[in-house]
Amino acid sequence: MKKEIDRKLLTTLKAQDPRALESAIDRYSPYVAGVLRKVLGTLGTREDLEELASDVFVALWRGAETLREDSDLKLWLGVVARNRALKHLRGLRLELPLDEDILPGGEESPGRFWERREEAQAVRDAVLQLDAQDQEIFLRHYFWRHGVRQIALELDMKESTVKSRLKRGRDKLRTILKKED
Amino acid sequence: MRDLDRLLTNTFPEELKKVPPALVDKKAVAAKTFEKLGLEQPAKHPRPQGEWVSPTPYRRRPWAVLAACLMLAVLAGVGITLRPMLTPNAHQEPLPAGTYLECAVAKVSFDQEQWAVVLDLEAKTDLDLDHPDAPTGYDLTAYVSRTTSSTRSSLAGLNQEALTHWTETGEDTYRCENITLEIDPVFQAQNQLMGEQDLNLELFAYFGEKNAIGTRENYLMAETPFTVDLPSPLDAFAPSTATYFDLSVSDATFDQPNGTIVLTLEAKTDMELDNETAQLLFYSWFYSLYLGKDSTQDVDLGDYAGADLDSLTQWTQTGEETYRSAPVTIPIPSDFLEQSGLKGTTSGSLHLTVSIWTKVEIDPVQFFSTADFTVELPGAEENHGNQTAAGLLKGDDLATYEKSYGQPWDTAVQELGLSENQVTPCPEAGLWETGEQRSIADQEFEWFLLSDVTTDELYGYWYRYQGTEETQILQTADRILSEAQESYGEPTTYPGSLNRLSALDEDTWNHAVEKGQIQDWYEEWSIGENTRCTLTLTVMDNDTACVLIEYRLAS
């Protein structure tokens, strides 16, 4: 049912029907706000949230033409929202620096890298091999860009523990990815 | 890092999709979006002005008018042909559409028992809210929210069903009473939602035909502020004063694949451990784990506070003032056991501190408790890897025995680490007593060797336990049977056998013991590469009974 609704929404969005955009906002703006809030934490005001959410829907309106009708609309909006929020943080010079780079072979071009689907699968497998808590910490840091202090506070842990668990995750990921190479 | 961004984004879509929604002003987002795109917004909503909003004429959208006309035309056409088949109440007449909606909170109170705000609403509208079909012909929903300096948060818990019951109190004026808004005391405490609070209520009334996705396109909205005095949950939900907390560990295991010690705790206390609100608002937990062979050599693994606090808040009452915890999972660093030399049966102690913060301005009530336990850690294969918990053969021990099958007698004895003087023949041909014993099911079994009298080659072993305590011997056999079934699988005994050990009941056993005639019951398994294991329980004719375990070359 949800997929059917999304398909109809996308069809009418492609036809540039403003009512479809309004429906998309009505349906997905709380989710988009959730993703924005997850990245921004307490840094964004309500106005920031509304502004960034509207940017996401502007992107949807402008990009609808390129979307396939069976696209996962929610995921698409989530990706755009996350990127928009990270860009906003960069603009404020508030993006938290990551502890250290992970991937081996840093000279490899992004395009070539991404084309290797098996490597993406290896990353997923590697992260999934971490124990549940290491996984949670890893994704909070590298996916949501939460700082060590924030993670420590939210998970009620010592900062040193978070750091050592991140290091363990990085080491494991490196080992696995080197093997893949 | 961009590579990793993309990899993570594309390989962990669930991370994105599981994000819960956040409160956002949809109207503001829509207005900004349409403004940025230079588009005219399809629908404008009435804005609140003071307590009552100004009536805003409802404008039906042209496409909807067209759709309605088409629908009416179709209905008319169908109606002409199907009218005789329709019963008078087969479909509901459309309810009147509305053009304006105003709303006000007429009465507000707080019900301590339900821990809920109770509202009476008044609405002025040309919607027929007390029409008998109104509950299904209109969809009414309301939201209560609080706006602070930077955020606006909705309060869940409004009884939406109450909005289907309106009474006309005057011309185009309706009243809906006793709408409850349950307040979550934890949310309330965490968000300082206490004392006089300025809240906002939005009432949406949807009307008209439902579209393909089951919603109505047309709606009116009214918004009204109201003030309510919310009592503090810290007083109302404070648990009774606790005076004791005794802790024990009822189960301790090591989860090897995950490298964790899993403890199930038992507590005797007058705390309200299964009170979720008390747990979230008033109790906090801290624990440390120590592992070591004795108290003077304890190894401090460090504290794991926070690593698994959730399970320390989940308790189930099992008796009067007695509770059992959810499994507490404590990660053990993979290299720790190796470095500390801990393996096999290991003692440990859990130090648990619980703090009760019923009065935040003073020191908490605290209980400091310690529970000792033993846990079976990995790395003790030299002791236990080659036998089951009860002592039956498996692994390398079984393989060694299997290698000895068919060997010349002298070689076999030597390879088993026995001396020729030690092994003496029994009256029964081919049976040899070793003088050695093996502990099986906590009993000392005598070890015998079996040799082929024609070839003088070793072909099997016996373990025998004999005594006069028949009940205890039966229990020993039962325990070995269970263990063998767990370790060796289902017996391969001929199903039609009349004296299967697994079918023996206590009455039959007692009767056989009383008769004092030789009788036996048995089960067989095929194990290892080429071994048949037979477990036999025998009543002897000299007021004794015995359990015999035979491992021999499978024929």
Lowest-pLDDT choice from A71-85, B300-314, B441-455: B300-314
Put simply, whether B293 touches A (Cβ < 8 Å) is no
Residues forming beta bridges with residue B121, ordered by sequence position: B105, B176
pLDDT of residue A1: 46
B152 versus B274: which is more confidently predicted?
Answer: B274
Of residues A103 and B147, the one with the higher pLDDT is B147
User: How many Å apart are CA B536 and CA B500, to the nearest integer?
Assistant: 9
What is residue B191's predicted lDDT score, i.e. its pLDDT? 76
Say yes or no: A26 contacts chain B, CB-CB below 8 A. Answer: yes
Contact call for residues B137 and B207 (beta carbons, < 8 A): yes
The whole-chain average pLDDT of chain B stands at: 78
Query: Cβ of B32 and A54 within 8 Å?
Result: yes
pLDDT of B33 reads 92
Number of CB pairs, chain A paired with chain B, less than 8 A apart: 143
**Least confident window among A49-63, A123-137, B330-344:** B330-344
Which architecture characterizes domain B245-382 according to CATH?
Sandwich (2.60)
Considering only the beta carbons, identify the residue of A5, A57, A156 that sits closest to B306.
Answer: A156
- Radius of gyration for the alpha carbons in chain A, expressed in angstroms and rounded: 19
List, as ranges, residues 86-125 from A with C-beta within 8 Å of B: 98, 101-103, 108, 110, 113-114, 119-121, 123-124
* Residues making up chain B, counted from first to last: 555
- Beta-carbon separation of A22 and B43 below 8 A: yes
- The span from the CA of B484 to the CA of B295, in Å, is 37
Least confident piece of the model among A116-130, B46-60, B109-123, B497-511: B46-60
- How close B229 gets to chain A, by Cα (Å)? 26
Q: Tell me if chain A has a CB within 8 Å of the CB of B66.
A: no
Task: Give the pLDDT confidence score for residue A60 in this predicted structure.
Answer: 92
* Residue range(s) occupied by CATH 1.10.10.10 in chain A: 110-180
pLDDT digits (tens, 9 = 90+) for B417-476: 787 778 888 877 788 888 888 888 888 899 999 888 777 888 899 999 988 888 889 989
The Cα of B302 is separated from the nearest Cα of chain A by a number of Å equal to: 11
pLDDT for the residue numbered B547: 93
Range name among A105-119, B157-171, B230-244 with the lowest pLDDT average: A105-119
Residue B548 pLDDT grade (very low, low, confident, very high; cuts 50, 70, 90): very high
| Mutation for testing the B interface, residue in A10, A22, A83 having most B CBs under 10 Å | A22
Yes or no, beta carbons of A30 and B152 under 8 Å apart: no
Residues of B with CB below 8 A from A102's CB? 1, 4
**pLDDT at res. B464:** 92
Describe the crossing of helices A159-180 and A117-129 by its angle, rounded to 10 degrees.
140
Q: Once rounded to an integer, what is the mean pLDDT over residues A68-82?
A: 84
Longest dimension (CA), chain B: 116
Burial of B140 (0-12, 13-18, 19+ CB in 10 A): buried
- Please state, in angstroms and rounded to a whole number, the distance separating the CA atoms of residues A112 and B38: 39
Least Cα separation, residue A153 to chain B (angstroms): 10
> Residue B11 has what pLDDT?
63
Q: Which of residues 14-33 of B touch A (CB under 8 A)?
A: 15-17, 19-26, 28-30, 32-33
Q: Which two tokens stand for residue B140?
A: 């009414």
DSSP-assigned letters across all residues of B193-236:
--EEEEEEEEEEEEEEEE-TTS-EEEEEEEEEEEEEEEPPHHHH
**CATH 1.10.1740.10 placement within chain A:** 2-91
Degrees, nearest 5: CA angle B188-B194-B197: 110
CATH code linked to domain A2-91: 1.10.1740.10
Sorted by where each begins, the domain ranges of chain B are 2-37, 62-236, 245-382, 385-553
A10-24, B182-196, B317-331, B351-365: the lowest-pLDDT one: B351-365
pLDDT digits (tens, 9 = 90+) for B480-491: 998 888 888 888
Residue A110 has pLDDT above 60, yes or no: no
Q: Which CATH architecture has domain A110-180?
A: Orthogonal Bundle (1.10)
State how far the Cα of A138 lies from the Cα of B526, in Å rounded to an integer.
49
> Mind listing the pLDDT tens digit for each residue in B96-117?
888 899 999 999 999 999 999 9
pLDDT confidence band for A165 (50 / 70 / 90): confident
Which of 307-346 (B) contact A at CB < 8 A?
A: 307, 309, 331
Instruction: Give me chain A's average pLDDT, please.
Output: 75
Q: How confident is the model over B520-544, as pLDDT tens digits?
A: 899 999 888 889 999 999 888 778 8
The CATH architecture assigned to B62-236 reads: Sandwich (2.60)
Six-digit token string for B329: 């999972």
What pLDDT does residue B68 have?
A: 37
Which of A54, A82, A155 has the highest number of chain B CBs within 10 A, making it the mutation to test binding with B? A54
Among B301, B310, B253, smallest CA distance to B280 is for B310
Residues B105/B120, Cβ–Cβ less than 8 Å: yes
